[in-house]
């Protein structure tokens, strides 16, 4: 009985609070809206200093496409639960060239980047992904994801209309099947999800087998020859990445590992460490407040041997 009374009392308090808020909202002058996403829904831009490399952004995902006089190499369809992203992507390519879309290269197996490729398939594109991506998609098939036609193991070079595009596997990181796409002449790479720019790692690193292997894969990327990186999400104001960004991310992972190791030695893993570990050096990075505890959680597991 007491409990029921408490629930009713709480409900009443909540209702009072809501109606109070409503009154305040009605009597206060209109506040400026919170900074909504002011960008247009999508944008296509040619990468400065190149003749034929483009970035297609739809909401918060981006893909690279390369136009040659023997056809187009597209990457991730980025059409999960939004088929209009894919029709827009194809329309944007058609605005630039009449050449057919010959290839779609998957950056990795996550649906938010690769769902929606059917339209490209219908237009005759050949789909390429890392071997482990195909295995993953066979394990978890989705009607929205086109199965790769061809797979890459460690390395493959596509030559199309005078453009060379390398597809490189640098080891397990954010997934076990991420490809680095490198344009040697343009000194550009396209990487998705495993090199966030001045941004923390995603949540508690889902689908990541080994954070140390991730770090090793970053060292391999840093050792490649390139100058600018196109990421799969627009980070840090939408700029391209640099090798310094890769080194900074390695530094973040090392600082995180060291702090969590200390917390683990003091018996604070997992919950206390999630609350207490701070890395103020990175507090201006994207998702610092919301993802740091989750990054700590993942590194606590590492200290427990998994
Ligand atoms: Zn991903």
Tens-digit pLDDT profile for residues 39-52: 899 999 999 999 99
31 alpha carbon – ligand 1 mean position (Å): 37
pLDDT confidence of 36, banded at 50, 70, 90?
low
178 alpha carbon – ligand 1 mean position (Å): 9
23 has pLDDT over 70: no
Q: Helices 243-265 and 288-303 meet at what angle, rounded to 10?
A: 60
Quickly tell me which residue has 């009597």 as its tokens: 27
56 alpha carbon – ligand 1 mean position (Å): 17
More confident residue, 4 or 285: 285
Give per-residue pLDDT as tens, 141-194: 999 999 999 999 999 999 999 999 999 999 999 999 999 999 999 999 999 999
SS3 165: strand
Q: Could you give the percent of the chain with pLDDT greater than 70? A: 88
299 alpha carbon – ligand 1 mean position (Å): 19
CA angle 257, 171, 179 (to 5 degrees): 120
Tell me what pLDDT residue 178 has: 98
278 alpha carbon – ligand 1 mean position (Å): 25
203 has pLDDT over 70: yes
Average pLDDT of the chain is: 91
37 has pLDDT over 80: no
110 alpha carbon – ligand 1 mean position (Å): 5
Q: Helices 211-223 and 243-265 meet at what angle, rounded to 10?
A: 160
Mean pLDDT, rounded, for 194-205 = 98
Tell me what pLDDT residue 15 has: 38
191 alpha carbon – ligand 1 mean position (Å): 10
162 alpha carbon – ligand 1 mean position (Å): 30
Give per-residue pLDDT as tens, 211-221: 999 999 999 99
What is the token pair recorded at 157? 């070079």
Separation of alpha carbons 57 and 132, rounded Å: 26
7 alpha carbon – ligand 1 mean position (Å): 42
What is the token pair recorded at 187? 């000194």
Tell me what pLDDT residue 305 has: 87
268 alpha carbon – ligand 1 mean position (Å): 30
More confident residue, 108 or 23: 108
256 has pLDDT over 50: yes
Residue pair 190/230 in contact (Cβ under 8 Å)? The answer is yes
124 alpha carbon – ligand 1 mean position (Å): 26
DSSP for 281-301, written as a single string? GGTTSBTHHHHHHHHHHHHHH
Tell me what pLDDT residue 38 has: 80
Residue pair 138/129 in contact (Cβ under 8 Å)? The answer is no
17 alpha carbon – ligand 1 mean position (Å): 41
206 alpha carbon – ligand 1 mean position (Å): 9
235 alpha carbon – ligand 1 mean position (Å): 15
284 has pLDDT over 90: yes
25 has pLDDT over 50: no
Tell me what pLDDT residue 200 has: 98
174 alpha carbon – ligand 1 mean position (Å): 7
Mean pLDDT, rounded, for 70-94 = 98
129 alpha carbon – ligand 1 mean position (Å): 14
**Cis peptide upstream of residue 283 (ω within 30 degrees of 0):** no
303 alpha carbon – ligand 1 mean position (Å): 24
224 alpha carbon – ligand 1 mean position (Å): 22
51 alpha carbon – ligand 1 mean position (Å): 29
34 has pLDDT over 90: no
Mean pLDDT, rounded, for 70-92 = 98
State pTM to two decimals.
0.87
- Residue of 100, 106, 97, 160 lying closest to 124 (CA atoms): 100
Tell me what pLDDT residue 35 has: 55
114 alpha carbon – ligand 1 mean position (Å): 10
Give per-residue pLDDT as tens, 87-133: 999 999 999 999 999 999 999 999 999 999 999 999 999 999 999 99
More confident residue, 216 or 30: 216
17 has pLDDT over 60: no
């Amino acid at each position: 009985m007491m409990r029921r009374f408490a629930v009713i009392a709480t409900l009443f308090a909540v209702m009072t609070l809501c109606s109070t808020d409503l009154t305040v909202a009605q009597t206060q002058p209109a506040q400026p809206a919170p900074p909504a996403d002011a960008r247009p829904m999508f944008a296509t831009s040619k990468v400065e200093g190149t003749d034929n490399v483009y970035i297609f952004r739809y909401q918060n995902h981006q893909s690279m496409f390369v136009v040659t006089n023997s056809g187009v190499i597209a990457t991730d369809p980025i059409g999960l639960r939004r088929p209009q992203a894919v029709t827009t992507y194809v329309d944007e390519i058609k605005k630039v060239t009449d050449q057919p879309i010959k290839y779609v290269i998957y950056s990795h197996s996550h649906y938010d980047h690769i769902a929606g490729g059917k339209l490209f398939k219908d237009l005759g594109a050949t789909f390429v992904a890392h071997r482990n991506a195909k295995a993953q998609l066979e394990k978890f098939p989705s009607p929205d994801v086109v199965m790769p036609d061809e797979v890459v193991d460690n390395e493959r070079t596509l030559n199309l209309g005078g453009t060379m595009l390398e597809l490189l596997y640098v080891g397990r990181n954010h997934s076990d099947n991420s490809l680095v796409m490198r344009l040697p002449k343009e000194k550009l790479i396209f990487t998705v999800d495993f090199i966030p720019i001045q941004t923390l790692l995603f949540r508690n690193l889902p689908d990541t087998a080994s954070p140390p292997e991730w770090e090793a894969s970053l060292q391999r990327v840093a050792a490649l020859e390139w100058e600018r990186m196109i990421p799969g999400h627009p980070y840090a104001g939408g700029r391209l990445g640099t090798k310094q960004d890769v080194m900074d991310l390695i530094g973040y992972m090392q600082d995180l590992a060291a702090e969590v190791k200390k917390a683990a030695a003091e018996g604070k893993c997992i919950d206390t460490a999630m609350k207490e570990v701070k890395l103020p050096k990175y507090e201006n990075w994207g998702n610092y407040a919301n993802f740091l505890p989750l990054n700590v959680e993942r590194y606590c597991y590492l200290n427990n041997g998994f």
